[in-house]
Amino acid sequence: MNFDDAKAYARWLTEHERDAGRLPEEYVCRLPTEAEWMTFAQCGDGREYPWGNEWPPLSGQAGNYHGQEGAGTWDKISGYNDGFPVTAEVDKLWRNPWGLHGVGGNVWEACASDTAADQAWFAWRGASWDRIFQDRLRCSRRLILDASARNDDLGFRLVLSR
């Protein structure tokens, strides 16, 4: 998927849920802005990584990264094991202090620049299942790919807003 696919899914889900009577007209499903993503990744306290400020992450208490169980043949995070060799169902992943699953790792998440109805592209955030380097797992890290990129480690998260 790419950024446009993620936006199309958000529009479809909004319409589907409204048609089913589960979503009031004043609500919409959309991609988070980068600022929103940073807020929920840092749990409002400015932490360096989604799990906190310490390195390395504790097994099972951080995101889905390339730990000892990782499927790739490249280096792994020493001593880390999240239980997933590649991507995983989000609800099976570690839950941050705000109760959100899979923030950090698993897939790079598409972020928009604004909350407009036809959101504009901004960045990929959050790292993915194949990452190991400390600087690439920081909340502040962006993946340098454009909105049209497609890869097995790109995805999205939706927010519900008014």
Residue 48: give its domain's CATH number.
3.90.1580.10
Identify the band that residue 75 occupies on the pLDDT scale cut at 50, 70 and 90: very high
With 0-12 CB in 10 A as exposed, 13-18 as middle and 19+ as buried, what is 102? buried
In a domain, 146, yes or no: no
pLDDT > 70 fraction of the chain, expressed in percent and rounded: 100
Q: Where does the chain have alpha helices with state H?
A: 3-19, 34-41
Count of domains forming the chain = 1
pLDDT > 90 fraction of the chain, expressed in percent and rounded: 98
Q: What are the pLDDT digits (tens) for 103-162?
A: 999 999 999 999 998 999 999 999 999 999 999 999 999 999 999 999 999 999 999 999
Domain that holds residue 95: 1-141+153-162
In a domain, 109, yes or no: yes
Report the C-alpha gap between 160 and 39 in whole angstroms.
Answer: 15
Residue matched to tokens 């880390």: 80
In a domain, 24, yes or no: yes
In a domain, 84, yes or no: yes
Q: What is the pLDDT of residue 114?
A: 96
In a domain, 59, yes or no: yes
Q: What are the pLDDT digits (tens) for 25-42?
A: 999 999 999 999 999 999
Q: What is the pLDDT of residue 80?
A: 96
The whole-chain average pLDDT of the chain stands at 96
In a domain, 147, yes or no: no
In a domain, 148, yes or no: no
Report the C-alpha gap between 112 and 23 in whole angstroms.
Answer: 22
Q: What is the pLDDT of residue 132?
A: 92
Q: What is the pLDDT of residue 97?
A: 94
